[in-house]
Amino acid sequence: MRLEQEEATCWRVADPDWEDPFDGSYSMRLGQRWNAQGSFPVTYLNANEATAKANAELMVGKLAGIGVDIDDLEAAQLPVIIPCLAPDRIVLDILSDQGCLDVGLDITYPLDANGSIVAHTGCQPIGQQAWDDELEGVACRSAALLTPEGEELAWFDRPGKRLSANGPPLRYEP
């Protein structure tokens, strides 16, 4: 199901050391939720600051897996949340129940019928089809913020459609 969205500010969560946080090729290296490893570039955005903060918390939480505690980090090492203007767009709808059903996901997405987060491998073929259909991205419910407010945009970084910051970054504060 296609969804028309109007121009809106979205938020990119980034490592402060990233040279270009809007370069979607970063997500191609390992693959992410809507793009498989080596497939196509996607810039993952958040529709609001609450979702961005939840994703920043996930980013910081992953450091614990390598033995780094948030208290070990200086403020300049914490993620930044960067505003950008996403233009009018036509995207795949993974926000509505019907949009989920149309692509073979449960209406409980981002959770499966057992209450677990749907694996990236279950979403990647859907993202590939949206890319092949020349949509501009995937608007989806957030796996980081499991409330009605949790909304993300997987922006397809196509030639001539690269996004950029439209304001100063906000420093993530735990």
* pLDDT tens digit sequence for 26-67: 899 999 999 999 999 999 999 999 999 999 988 876 666 656
Question: Whole-angstrom Cα distance, residue 71 to residue 53?
Answer: 18
What pLDDT is recorded for position 146?
93
Q: What is the model's pTM?
A: 0.91
Domain ranges of the chain: 2-171
Give the 3-state secondary structure of residue 121: helix
Q: How many residues does the chain have?
A: 174
Question: Whole-angstrom Cα distance, residue 25 to residue 7?
Answer: 23
Question: Whole-angstrom Cα distance, residue 166 to residue 147?
Answer: 27
Name 81's bridge partners. 13, 170
Place of tokens 């809106």: 8
172 — pLDDT class (breaks 50, 70, 90): confident
CA distances from 56 to 82, 122, 135 (A): 11, 23, 27
